[in-house]
Structure 1
Amino acid sequence: MTPAGDDNSTATTPEELAAATREAQAAAEHAEAAAEHAEKSADDAEESADQADDSADDAGTSAEQAEAAANKAVATVERAEDLETTDDDISGELLIDERHPDEGMGKPGPPIRRSNPFVFGFFAALGVLFAWGLWNALGRASSVLILLLVSMFIAVGLNPLVEWFMRRGLKRGLSVGVVFLLMILAVAGVGFAIVPVVTDQIDGLITNAPGWLDLLQKSKTLKNFDNQYHFIQKAQEYIQDPALAQRAFGGILGVGKVVAGALFNTFTILILTLYFLASLPSVKRAAYSLVPRTRRTRVSILGDEVLTRVGGYVSGQFLVALIAGVMMFLFLEIVGLREYAVALAIVVMFCDFIPMVGGLIGVVIVALIGFTGGLWTGIACLIYGIIYQQIENYVVAPRIMRRAVDIPGAVTVIAALLGGALLGVVGALLAIPSAAAILLIIREVWVRKADAS
């Protein structure tokens, strides 16, 4: 019985076996964690050793740099001692960079204060001198600038005609050549038509003036004045003098200068017009390229619209002047001034380009020539000119110019007055298209910004 009792006391139950298994697993996990910690400690120790090596290397490098700096300082002191014992100033100047290899010529000082009265006065005087010199330069070059403006104005005005030929299949170079040839023929035709008439009128004035003075002598009032001052005799002697024309222009040299100046200006305008007309697209592209990219598209659209309006104004004004010239030619044919019909029609056409007063100037010239053919002829010319001006101002011009430039009448008058006061006839010619361009920019830029704000 005893052995059986001993077997029961030494046997292992399932609960004890499960507990032992759990303890073994826990011990294994603890051992694994301890191994990982030991491995991490080894890695940290190795990294600390590397850092210690790097620190040692840095310390060695710093020591080397300190030693190099000390050697450099010793060398600098030795050079300074050598320079103190040397009397050669040139060698001293040559060794400035060597004595100061880090600073060169030394550290720059603080900037000059702009509030300093001397600095402000100096730069203000420079600005005044520059503005004065620029103003004088513009004054001396005013004649050239006027020629440039006129040439650009004509080129922009002729550009629609060039584009018309291009739409018909011609290249731009050939179109420019055709338009330029037509312009030369027009200028030559005007010269051949006007010069003979002007010469005849001057000769007739000089020839008939003594007879007019004889008629004036029949007036009692003029006789009394003539008895006191003898002005009629002096006027007769002055008019009958064959050198009157020469004295009027300052002699033969003065006449030559006037003619040469007119021919030179005409030739210059023709050449510049040809250049601007041929290079107009490239000039526009170059001008637009100066604008920032974000605004280039809008600026190019506005610029093209401005050029279109200027060209439309020139084309429209040419059509208005052409109608005035044709109507004047027909009228002069009717009243019997056939000899001067072509020349006077051309004069009226050119005068019609001048805003406000151009039509009146043309009427006065035609009336004066008409009075030479008879009293009633001159009166008829005067009446016709006044009536046609009203028709042109209120019927012809508004219908033609409505699509080209849309500006109020008050702005037209103000622009013409300002342009005439600044640049004379040229300013009056350029005033209206310039005002149209300024109004377009104000509407598209200023007004839109004001509406958006």
Structure 2
Amino acid sequence: MDEAVEVAAAQAEASAERAERAETGAFSAYQGAVEAGRGAVEAAAAILPPDDPILDTAVRKIEARVDEDNPYGRPGQPMSTRSPFRLAFTAALGVALAYGLVKALIAVQSVLVLLLTAAFLAIGLTPLVDKLERRKVKRVRAVGIVLAGVLLFFTGFGFAVVPPIVEQSASLIEQAPTYVQQLQDNRRIAELDNRFGLLNRAQEYVSDPARFGTAAAGGVLEVGKVVLTLLFNTILLLVLTLYFLSSLPTIKANAYRLIPRSRRARVGLLSDEILSRVGGYVAGAVTIAGIASVLTFTLLVALGVDYPLALAMLVFLTGLIPLIGATIGAVIITMVALFTSVKVGIIVAVYYVIYQQIENYVLYPRIMKRSVDVSPAATVVAVLIGGSLLGVLGALLAIPIAAAVQLVLKEVIAPRQDQR
């Protein structure tokens, strides 16, 4: 037994000596290569001018110790963290960078909103792309199919909403003198008009084609500018969404490389779960809003309310807003229905009271159960904070972000506190 131990120890010692000699030989070879490189550079310096870029690059490669594994040179020793000067300089630099970053974010706020919206849409549409990929559809083609569906929806929304708006605006301009005359026939309005003369001025204004036309033209120009800006932002949003949606796997892989290797796998799993919850929330919100819009369209057609398709799409868009979106849509549809008749308005109001109870206590819990599980109090607080910061977009992002924070607290923060 002792002999075997001695033999093993001798073999280990011999292996260590061979490894040391190999390391010494490798270092000597490396030093020889460096010296040879320096000699070549010195020989080239005798021929080439001192400021030659090739010579300068060769010198920097030798000094940086470039090899196959380190094409840009080997990392140097980290700086000492005990230097008071370095600590003070780092703190001052951090404050300056933070201030500059805040100023820059404020300056490009509109661009950041577009980027954030595009990223949110891309994450929300990713489950559809993944489903198509599982059916042997290439990612590029799957992205094209999904975006074509989104574009088709917004095109249909435009064709459904724009014609009624144009028609009603033209009718309003045409009937403006008549409306003023009807107001003059009202006894109470006539008494106020006798004191202030407002209706006479309005009658003169709308009856003068030049003045009324000029004002209308100015309004048309302003509307045109708004429409062009909206069109440009929409196109830019679609392009950004296309980029994020097609490049999302690459973006995630590059982001995970910034995480230390020991934590990369866990961070990747948590991040994938967060993205999955955001995508599930978007899919669930679209499903609930789609159900509400289809039922609204059916009801309005049955009751004979004008422009049922446009109103149904309006319900779909407002239904995407958390907490208050469905109520806003219900109020608008009820007010429009009242113009048809009081009876129709009452029927629509009763329908929405009943439907919202079903949506809140039946549809929403079942559809959203698998994607987000946020308490009602946290939902209200998150929506209020998000709406205050970014408006409607902030309200849309609030619930999935709250779900992500809740997941991080549960899987990262709480276990650390339990170990103390």
In which range does the TM-score fall when normalised by the shorter chain?
0.7 to 0.9
Partner of 1:278: 246
Superposed, which structure 2 residues align to 1:282-301 within 5 Å?
A: 282-301=250-269
Change (3 A) 1:189 1:246: farther
What residue number does 1:315 align with?
Answer: 283
* 1:324-363 CA distance string (max 9 Å, x none): 00000000011112x4111111111011001122112212
Q: Is the Cα–Cα contact under 8 Å of residues 419 and 428 in structure 1 kept in the other structure?
A: yes
Q: What is the distance in 2 between the residues matched to 1:406 and 1:244? A: 56
Distance in 2, Cα, partners of 1:249 & 1:129: 49
Counterpart for residue 68 of structure 2: none
1:320-335 equivalent positions in 2, closer than 5 A: 320-335=288-303
Separation in 1, partners of 2:313, 2:164: 11
Confirm or deny that 1:225 pairs with 2:192. Answer: yes
Opposite residue 350 of structure 1, the aligned amino acid is L
Kindly indicate whether residue 107 of structure 2 is the aligned counterpart of residue 140 of structure 1. yes
SS in 2 for 1:355: coil
Show the counterpart of 2:334.
Answer: 367
1:63-114 Cα deviation digits (max 9, x unpaired): xxxxxxxxxxxxxxxxxxxxxxxxxxxxxxxxxxxxxxxxxxxxxxxx9975
Deviation at 1:382, TM superposition (A): 3.1
Distance 1:448 1:249 in 2: 65
Give the corresponding residue for 1:196: 163
Where does residue 162 of structure 1 map in the other structure? 129
Letter in structure 2 aligned against 1:326: V
SS at match of 1:279: helix
- How much does 1:169 deviate? 1.8
Partners of 2:390 and 2:171 lie apart in 1 by 34
Give the Å deviation of 1:246: 7.8
Which residue in the other structure is 1:452 paired with? 419
Structure 1 pair 126–296 and aligned structure 2 pair: CA distance change class (3 A): closer
Q: Distance in 1 between matches of 2:319 and 2:195?
A: 45
Equivalences for residues 76-155 of structure 1 within 5 A? 130-155=97-122
CA shift, 1:173, in A, is 1.8
Distance across 2 between alignment mates of 1:162 and 1:263 = 26
Q: Is 1:379 matched with 2:346?
A: yes
Amino acid at match of 1:380: I
Query: Aligned-pair distance for 1:307?
Result: 0.3
Encode CA deviations 1:104-141: one digit per residue, 9 max, x unaligned.
xxxxxxx99759xxx97x99887665444332221121
The answer to whether the aligner puts 1:179 opposite 2:130 as a matched pair is no
Runs (5+) with no aligned partner, structure 1: 1-110
Counterpart residue type for residue 240 of structure 2:
L
Structure showing greater Rg? 1
Cα distance in 2, alignment partners of residues 375 and 238 from structure 1: 34
Instruction: Give how far 1:168 is off.
Output: 1.5
Specify the code of the residue in structure 1 equivalent to 2:385: L
Contact 1:416 1:428 in 2 (8 A): yes
Give 1:328's aligned amino acid.
Answer: T
Residues 209 and 365 (structure 1), Cα distance of their counterparts in 2 relative to 1, 3 Å cut = farther
**Alignment counterpart, residue 378 of structure 2, candidates 398, 411, 427:** 411
Match of 1:443 among 386, 410, 418: 410
TM-score scaled by length of structure 2:
0.73
Separation (CA, whole Å) in 2 of partners of 1:239 and 1:361: 33
2:333 is paired with a residue whose SS is helix
Cα pair distance change 1:231/1:148, threshold 3 Å: same
Q: Is the 8 A contact 1:206 1:240 kept in 2?
A: no
Distance 1:241 1:374 in 2: 34
* Alpha-carbon shift at residue 312 of structure 1 (Å): 0.1
Report the CA distance between 1:202 and its aligned residue.
2.6
Write the distance in 2 (CA, Å) between the matches of 1:249 and 1:159. Answer: 44
Is this contact kept in 2: 1:351–1:359, CA < 8 A?
A: yes
Q: Counterpart of 1:438 in structure 2: which amino acid?
A: V
Give the letter for the 1:187 counterpart. Answer: F
CA distance in 1, matches of 2:377, 2:206: 45
**SS of equivalent residue, structure 1 residue 311:** helix
Q: Give me the whole-angstrom Cα distance separating, in 2, the residues matched to 1:369 and 1:240.
A: 29
Unaligned runs of at least 5 residues, structure 2? 1-81
Q: Give CA deviations for 1:279-312 in whole Å, capped at 9, x if unaligned.
A: 1111111111110011111100100000000000
AA matched with 1:148: L
1:47 counterpart residue number? none
User: Structure 1 vs Structure 2: percent identity of aligned residues?
Assistant: 47
Change over 3 Å in CA distance of 1:160–1:380 after alignment to 2: same
Partners of 2:251 and 2:139 lie apart in 1 by 15
Aligned residue in 2 for 1:103: none
Q: What CA distance in whole angstroms lies between the structure 2 residues aligned with 1:249 and 1:347?
A: 28
- SS for the counterpart of 1:225 is helix
CA distance, structure 2, for counterparts of residue 332 and residue 167 of structure 1: 39
